[in-house]
Chain A
Amino acid sequence: AQSVTQLGSHVSVSEGALVLLRCNYSSSVPPYLFWYVQYPNQGLQLLLKYTSAATLVKGINGFEAEFKKSETSFHLTKPSAHMSDAAEYFCAVSLSQAGTALIFGKGTTLSVSS
């Protein structure tokens, strides 16, 4: 069975600073990996996804993530944080088969201070 671990339930950065949100996965078969963002009182919005093509994936709002098989990681980064990035971020994994369920991590709350 696959699972996701997000290290750090809460990350705080200053505006303009590097954002790094950590995600490690466990999967018995090659996984598909996703990052979703949830703004207060809203649904889940897809930031980016890895589906076995390029290991460095670029998403919306300047975010990117790198799939590292040797480290079983898929960390999310952004070079310069903006106040509007403050939200809950979820890493998720699914099997590389159509229709399989997404399994989410517990989420990381990102706070951005001025």
Chain B
Amino acid sequence: EPEVTQTPSHQVTQMGQEVILRCVPISNHLYFYWYRQILGQKVEFLVSFYNNEISEKSEIFDDQFSVERPDGSNFTLKIRSTKLEDSAMYFCASRVAGSNYGYTFGSGTRLTVV
């Protein structure tokens, strides 16, 4: 069964550093998403991406964050100047065109900012 692949599974970074989280969505999917889950809290929507541009973003997704689909297969989330409160599990998701289909999530990247 096709999977959404996320790398790395765990990343530790120092406060103030930039990190890039990588995702390979399912190949025929057209909509891409990033979510985060702070430990013990609910899953929160960050951003959606379609046709090479952001289609929707939440209040969390401020200027510190950016997304890119650099090569037609990878979908990245960049966090500039990380803060302690950015520590969370970050999930990538994708879905095929057509609104009846569910979202497929990756296994997540656990980001720890120290």
Contacts and interface: CB of A to CB of B under 8 A. Distances in A.
Contacts of A90: 42-43
B31 A49 contact: no
A106 B41 contact: yes
B106 A43 contact: yes
B45 interface: yes
**Size bin of chain B's contact surface:** 20 to 34
Interface string B61-105: 000000000000000000000000000000101010111101111
Interface residues of A, number: 24
A25 interface: no
29 contacts: A32-B99, A34-B102, A34-B103, A36-B105, A42-B107, A43-B105, A43-B107, A44-B43, A45-B105, A46-B104, A46-B105, A49-B102, A51-B100, A96-B99, A97-B99, A98-B97, A98-B98, A98-B99, A99-B99, A100-B56, A101-B33, A101-B56, A101-B58, A102-B35, A102-B93, A104-B42, A104-B44, A105-B42, A106-B41
A106 B42 contact: yes
Which 9 A-B residue pairs are closest in the complex by CB-CB distance? A43-B107, A44-B105, A104-B43, A98-B99, A106-B42, A101-B45, A51-B100, A99-B31, A46-B102
Contacts of B55: 99
B43 to A, nearest CB: 4
By secondary structure, the B interface counts as strand
A13 interface: no
A4 to B, nearest CB: 9
A99 B42 contact: no
Contacts of B41: 106
Contact of B103 (A46, A96, A105, A107): A46
A107 B40 CA distance: 10
Interface in B1-50: 31, 33, 35, 41-45, 48, 50
A42 B105 CA distance: 10
Given A51-B100, A98-B97, A44 B45 contact: no
A2 B44 CA distance: 13
